[in-house]
Structure 1
């Protein structure tokens, strides 16, 4: 270690040298540290810690670093009087940054909930692995518990409704553990996460309502105008933050009193990125009620110091109009990586499967973004509109263009129409369609060739359970429980409406106030079994 090099780095950092001094204080404890742990403990970018390690020249063993005794003495000399205050030794057993640092609003409460932290550690370890194309980075167990604690200390949660706009971090489960009286809804595009949350919530004995949605196509109707609070940890692009926060606002039932909690972070060297994101929040006319620096910590995201601030945003009277004007303008690219990233550019010209509207197949409606010169007299509909409400006409043939990154919406786009024949054009060849074919087998026969999927509507089945299931799926925009109730009464005329609804609540408690289009894939599978169970319900339920 060269004293001048370390001292020069600290001097060059100016007022931001605190983070480097904290990192040096940790190394002065003589313990082994990985680069990732130093990044997370100090909320300093990987580049910043790497620069510090180059100057400090610590001993190295594999991926771990520590200072030798003579280096510790020199380091303490560089730190001066600060050494005693920054040398906190290893981070606490709860995994958070050592003192000193910005005051943690709920850090003092965390030791009382060590059992919840321990449970969340296990839940996060067993959760589906993150998908880099969806910008998934797991928050630490301590972070999600602290989010739940902050919600409970800042707001009155008894009988309150919380909307999680995306929940790869499992914040919903932490909230239910600490505040079981809170009504929690999760909206996510990742089917695996929704299934895992449902499975774990049932195992733990509480209810979390899960809804599928690609937020670029809209917030599910069952989540609109309902929540008192919303929380989101979105893709860290201006487009991603703007879209997720806009959908969170749409979920609030009273914007004058509701709040949106946002996790967002940028590296200490990239303030312009943060400014662009904050400009997207400004465009929504949101008030910053609070910003807690480095509140969120992550396993990964080392470019931003494995940390993100927590914003508390309050809508103003101008927020709803701004959301209405902007929410549906966000394009497919909202992520930082992959085909759905901001940098990704869609191929020029027609969709790859533009021939889906040719070779004798003449659609009566074109859904999605088709070339303007293709069938110019054919009516058109946006993907979001197609999912939001039934199409006014009853087309026999429809053609749907699905851009890259929206393939997960394909089953819902097909269920949203009663056309006898649908052709779907995708940006890339579909590959194995077995799972989609199984999901839609009560309604469609699917065949795929390259980037074109053909869906031919099947005749209604003859068995009673099949007919009832088909009636439900054919009315995908309608409230599931209502359609189911009416079909059940037709099959069992002795049932009253109240009795039929009681049967449905018993066999499918997740079916209330949702549509088929909002159901996660695992609930669509459960629906088949539940429909049969409702027809065979014991007399006591009737």
Structure 2
């Protein structure tokens, strides 16, 4: 394996120098900007393809092809790639203000793909995107059909869109980074790219999760887009201090690398931070995160939003307690299995739900009754079609009551009553009530690309697909 994985550009420089004639170590170090030890390790990879003369080496005649394979040449972009990117962006689901979506320009997305291919060997390096509303993964896929790509996002619409346009060749995984990473994603990548929300907390959280995604952090790279106004340099300093405190060092900061249609407060531009984790990267700070963390600039859990008043919690508890049940208050984190005593109802404040929390919370909690407080304009409640889809998705496990404008005009309560096992499809019920188990363990026929994921880690359209596949013929 290439000892410089995932870096490719210095390997190509050394290969070019060796192809041109005799070189000593000093020349290779100077020409590649690699440390001497790294050059020595790379030469060892060439093995018998090198011939030696004193302290100098060169590629043997006829070894150019094998050397090129080790170096991995850059891909030639398709002539219509920019047009394809434009088309993808024109069809992308509308930006969600609550997730701080601001669209990168097609030229930026093309520049990102080309730069990634220039810097890293995408034939070998596993590239993971933490959030991808800009669709950079699709541009990389078009440039490098053999690249191993994963997209992790909180927005189910984006995951479905990428799944459709890539014909399933890009692995898509759902999570909200505030709650952590799925185990199948942690430690799975060589390079991580992200364009996080530009708040101090948002940058810190996405960077911490990015470190967790790297299999070998010291050898991997974390690439972050970040922009701040030149009128407020203190904001930039605060974010940079956060990144440094996580154990990251800045290998490069490329000014104005990213351009956007919007984000005029930061000049519609953002730098590209190329970060290398140090030995102390991550640690306990990388595992922190919760639903109350204000990482976005807008929406119900933004840095300026008020929390749900006590009267809403009291009303929610009263609904959950109907019939004299005891009520257990839960936080919105659906990622951990937690037992619920028999006969106890669960009340959960999901007023900060940007959209995907509700169905996953109901899949994750096994209780006789669950009452969830959500915004009245929640995507699953906005019209009859959305409501019917939610009811159908949860039918093997719960019967739902959707109480709009309750307890006030800004909120709604979703009440889920456990469905009798005899009334549900047995195969679906078994999987739907074990949402934290690896799918391969509870469903032996699960496809290989999802067998190591949990039901709650799947994009929503794939959860619905699993449901259809599990239904009796």
User: TM-score, length-normalised on structure 2?
Assistant: 0.75
Give the structure 2 partner of residue 362 of structure 1.
325
Q: Over aligned residue pairs, what C-alpha RMSD do you find?
A: 2.5
Provide the rounded CA distance (Å) in 1 between the counterparts of 2:329 and 2:110: 47
1:404 aligns with 2:351: yes
Provide the rounded CA distance (Å) in 2 between the counterparts of 1:366 and 1:403: 12
Give the structure 1 partner of residue 431 of structure 2.
472
Cα contact 1:399–1:425 (8 A) shared by 2:
no
Match of 1:453 among 414, 420, 425: 414
Give the structure 2 partner of residue 171 of structure 1.
136
Cα contact 2:177–2:289 (8 A) shared by 1:
no
Provide the rounded CA distance (Å) in 2 between the counterparts of 1:299 and 1:209: 27
User: TM-score, length-normalised on structure 1?
Assistant: 0.66
Give the structure 2 partner of residue 117 of structure 1.
82
Cα contact 1:397–1:422 (8 A) shared by 2:
no
Residue 197 and residue 165 in structure 1: after superposition, are their counterparts in 2 closer, same or farther (change >3 A)?
A: same
1:250 aligns with 2:231: no
Aligned to 2:184, the other structure's residue is in SS state helix
Provide the rounded CA distance (Å) in 2 between the counterparts of 1:240 and 1:475: 31
Aligned to 2:370, the other structure's residue is in SS state strand
Give the structure 2 partner of residue 276 of structure 1.
238
Provide the rounded CA distance (Å) in 2 between the counterparts of 1:457 and 1:330: 25
Give, in angstroms, the shift of residue 285 of structure 1.
2.0
Provide the rounded CA distance (Å) in 2 between the counterparts of 1:274 and 1:460: 55
Cα contact 1:429–1:452 (8 A) shared by 2:
no
1:517 aligns with 2:456: yes
Residue 347 and residue 530 in structure 1: after superposition, are their counterparts in 2 closer, same or farther (change >3 A)?
A: closer
Give, in angstroms, the shift of residue 113 of structure 1.
4.7
1:265 aligns with 2:227: yes
Q: Per-residue CA shift, 1:508-537, capped at 9, x if unaligned?
A: x643211110111111111122224xx77x
Give, in angstroms, the shift of residue 111 of structure 1.
9.0
Aligned to 1:398, the other structure's residue is in SS state strand
The number of equivalent residue pairs is 384
Aligned to 1:323, the other structure's residue is in SS state helix
Give, in angstroms, the shift of residue 356 of structure 1.
3.9
1:390 aligns with 2:337: yes
Residue 288 and residue 392 in structure 1: after superposition, are their counterparts in 2 closer, same or farther (change >3 A)?
A: same
Give the structure 2 partner of residue 149 of structure 1.
114
Residue 237 and residue 482 in structure 1: after superposition, are their counterparts in 2 closer, same or farther (change >3 A)?
A: same
Give the structure 2 partner of residue 83 of structure 1.
none
- For 1:418-433, list aligned pairs within 5 A: 418-426=366-374, 431-432=381-382, 433=387
1:129 aligns with 2:94: yes
Q: Quick check: which has more Rg, 1 or 2?
A: 1
Q: Per-residue CA shift, 1:289-328, capped at 9, x if unaligned?
A: 1111000111111221211100011112222215346x32
Match of 2:259 among 270, 276, 297: 297
Any unmatched runs of 5+ in structure 2? Answer: 1-73, 407-411
Residue 456 and residue 112 in structure 1: after superposition, are their counterparts in 2 closer, same or farther (change >3 A)?
A: closer
Give, in angstroms, the shift of residue 351 of structure 1.
4.3
1:208 aligns with 2:147: no
Aligned to 1:412, the other structure's residue is in SS state helix
Give the structure 2 partner of residue 482 of structure 1.
441
Provide the rounded CA distance (Å) in 2 between the counterparts of 1:176 and 1:461: 46
Give, in angstroms, the shift of residue 427 of structure 1.
6.1
Residue 329 and residue 446 in structure 1: after superposition, are their counterparts in 2 closer, same or farther (change >3 A)?
A: closer
Any unmatched runs of 5+ in structure 1? Answer: 1-108, 369-382, 486-500, 537-542
1:328 aligns with 2:289: yes
Q: Per-residue CA shift, 1:127-157, capped at 9, x if unaligned?
A: 1111122111111122122212222222222
1:437 aligns with 2:384: no
Provide the rounded CA distance (Å) in 1 between the counterparts of 2:377 and 2:170: 36
Provide the rounded CA distance (Å) in 1 between the counterparts of 2:268 and 2:78: 23
Give, in angstroms, the shift of residue 482 of structure 1.
2.3
**Greater mean alpha carbon deviation, residues 180-189 or residues 191-200:** 180-189
Cα contact 2:320–2:347 (8 A) shared by 1:
no
Give, in angstroms, the shift of residue 168 of structure 1.
0.2
Residue 416 and residue 111 in structure 1: after superposition, are their counterparts in 2 closer, same or farther (change >3 A)?
A: closer
Give the structure 2 partner of residue 54 of structure 1.
none
1:342 aligns with 2:303: yes
Cα contact 1:356–1:399 (8 A) shared by 2:
no
Provide the rounded CA distance (Å) in 2 between the counterparts of 1:159 and 1:110: 14
Give the structure 2 partner of residue 234 of structure 1.
196
Residue 436 and residue 332 in structure 1: after superposition, are their counterparts in 2 closer, same or farther (change >3 A)?
A: farther
Cα contact 2:346–2:367 (8 A) shared by 1:
no
**Greater mean alpha carbon deviation, residues 262-271 or residues 149-158:** 149-158
More helix by share: 1
Give the structure 1 partner of residue 280 of structure 2.
318
